[in-house]
Amino acid sequence: MNKTIKVIALSLVILSAVSAGTAKAATASLSFFPTAVAKDAGSTFQVSLVANTPGAKICAVEGKLAFGSLTCQSIAVSSDVLAQTSPTCTNPYFLIGIPSCTISDKAVLSVSVKAENAAGTATISLTGVDIIDDNGKSISTDSIGGVYTIVAPVATPVKPPVTHTNPANPTPTPTPTATPAPTPEPTQQPLNPEIPQQPGASLIGGILSAIGGLWVMLKNFMIENVFYGVMLALLIILLILLIIYLIYLLFKKEDQDQNQPKQG
């Protein structure tokens, strides 16, 4: 009975080891990063090809790139891998070796692509995939392609130029040109008959002019000295009355002289 138990236990260990190895080999794959993303129509963007290995040893990868609604711009091999066959946009086949192999995810290619100008869905995928371990055996042919949503850019509306118009008069009214007014011709003044000057007119004018100048001087003095100003004002009034009386006597004498009969 003990022998039977040992055989069963050994069989379970072997089955577990085979299952674990198969699971590891089955999960190895090649995929693109990012796997899904939205991009503007006509834009150029980068994707990376990554060897995914959760514990399985990967030493070489092989395959061919395929583009759907994407235009290949360039393909670059990662600096820490060796390309036995380097892919190009015209011939996207590759065979790449990984020095010392790897048991962790590793980027092997960088691909630059350009989206079409129309909105829709674009893809990048792989054909003929083969993932090889350190024994030179194929451990997987799995791959995961990239699917990208291409979005048409929103057109910015162009605002028309703003034209300021008068609502009451939509049509611009030309500014009238000012017409210069005619220069009036000088008119001849009628000749007035000479008015005889009276003998006392020049004397009166001189007196009044002197009084005006004196009044301006006294007015300034009155503003600065109120009391003396009032006294001077009274004095001026008396002086004016005296002058008026003298003028009256002068005119009266002239009239008397003109009315006297001339002696023959």
The whole-number pLDDT of residue 6 equals: 47
Site of tokens 């070489």:
60
For a pLDDT cut of 70, what percent of the chain falls above it?
64
Is residue 96 over pLDDT 90?
yes
pLDDT confidence band for 262 (50 / 70 / 90): low
Instruction: Give the pLDDT mean for 199-221.
Output: 65
pLDDT at 84: 96
Sequence-ordered alpha helix ranges (H) in the chain: 2-27, 201-224, 226-259
Residue 259: band (very low, low, confident or very high) from pLDDT cuts 50, 70, 90:
confident
For residues 169 and 208, which has the higher predicted lDDT (pLDDT)? 208
What pLDDT is attached to residue 80? 95
User: Per mean pLDDT, which of 107-116, 146-155, 204-213, 253-262 is the most reliable?
Assistant: 107-116
Least confident piece of the model among 17-26, 75-84, 103-112, 220-229: 17-26
CA angle 81, 82, 83 (to 5 degrees): 120
Residue 147, classed as helix, strand or coil, is strand
pLDDT at 28 over 70: yes
Is the preceding peptide bond at 54 cis, omega within 30 degrees of 0?
A: no
Does CATH place domain 26-151 in 2.60.40.680?
Answer: yes
37 close to 113: Cβ distance less than 8 angstroms: no
Orientation of helix 226-259 relative to helix 201-224, angle to 10°? 170
Quick one: pLDDT band at residue 218, thresholds 50, 70, 90?
A: low
Q: Which of 143, 129, 142 is nearest to 60 (CA)?
A: 129
Calculate mean pLDDT across residues 14-35.
64
Query: Rounded distance, CA 123 to CA 120, Å?
Result: 10
3-state secondary structure of 70: strand
Determine if the pTM surpasses 0.75: no
> What is the model's pLDDT at position 19?
44
The rounded distance, in Å, linking the Cα atoms of 52 and 58 is 9
Answer yes or no: is pLDDT of 125 > 50.
Answer: yes
Nearest to 94 by CA among 132, 137, 62: 62
Place of tokens 């009276």: 198
> Does residue 23 or residue 182 have the better pLDDT?
182
Q: Give mean pLDDT, residues 82-102.
A: 97
Q: What residues have CB less than 8 Å from 33, skipping those under 6 apart?
A: 47, 48, 50, 107, 146
Upper half-sphere CA count for residue 163 (Cβ side, 13 Å): 7
Which of 134 and 232 is assigned the larger pLDDT?
A: 134
Mean pLDDT of the chain: 79
